[in-house]
Amino acid sequence: TELPTPQDGVEACGDDPWFADPQVRLALRDGVEVAHSKYKILVGNPSEEISRICPSNGFELKAGAVLRLGGHHLGGYGEADVTYAYRQLSRALHPDKNPDNPDAGAAFRRLSEAQGELKQTLEAARALTKRLAAPFRFSSVGEEELKRPQEALFAESTRLVAAVVALCTDGKVSDSAKQRANACLRLPSERGGGAWASPAASPDDFITAWMSQPDLLSALADPAVRNAYDS
């Protein structure tokens, strides 16, 4: 699936193709699928891998770095990807295969911990993606996208910020941009988006509520959003 050509002069209001067009989202998802189909974990020398996971300076790698997942070359990962990465690395780094390396046990434990951490963060990322998408009239997040949720989470968090900024009266925002953003956010907060989900009466009321409550800002500051950005 090919992405459409960029549209010059189109403001980001939450209804732009990258956010809302199912074909664009499908193309992005296809790109992640292709990247994973070509990706093979090449396990290096066991002693070097052990030193990488348990460096002598005491620095602790994040779970994604331990299992070599994430990064722009992949664009996201799911449970099957985590399991594959763990299997490939654990076979080479098992303490029984490295009896002369005193750090082998610690590296193997860190592998197991990283696998569990990443699988837990996947559920958190899926829940947050649905929550951030909730305020929109046309939410395009489906179960297939949530298989590897990082890209969808980044899209939905950026989409919400774009809509909020378009409604904000600070700076130069055209009336048409405000109308488009306001139209995107017509969904009652009772549907799960939080108190900031939709304007109470007008865009100005929405901005006032958004600026006075930490709910939305806390959601956007969630580690899962940063992880999605890094992916």
The number of helices, as runs of H, and strands, as runs of E, in the chain is 11, 0
Model pLDDT, residue 104: 92
Q: What mean pLDDT do residues 120-147 have? A: 81
Share of the chain above pLDDT 90, in %: 18
Model pLDDT, residue 3: 46
- pTM of the full predicted structure? 0.74
**How do residues 31-54 score in pLDDT, each as one tens digit?**
878 777 777 777 778 999 999 998
Model pLDDT, residue 100: 93
Amino acid code (one letter) for 45: N
Cβ neighbours, 10 Å, residue 34: 11
Which residues have CB under 8 Å from 75's CB, separation 6+?
28, 31, 32, 35, 148, 150, 151, 231
Q: What mean pLDDT do residues 175-188 have? A: 66
Model pLDDT, residue 68: 86
Q: How far apart are CA 72 and CA 229, in angstroms?
A: 9
Q: Which residue has the higher pLDDT, 88 or 169?
A: 88
Statement: residue 9 has pLDDT above 70: no
Model pLDDT, residue 160: 79
Model pLDDT, residue 188: 53
| DSSP assignment letter at 4 | P
Statement: residue 140 has pLDDT above 70: no
Statement: residue 204 has pLDDT above 70: no
Q: What mean pLDDT do residues 194-216 have? A: 63
Where do we find the tokens 């690395």? 89
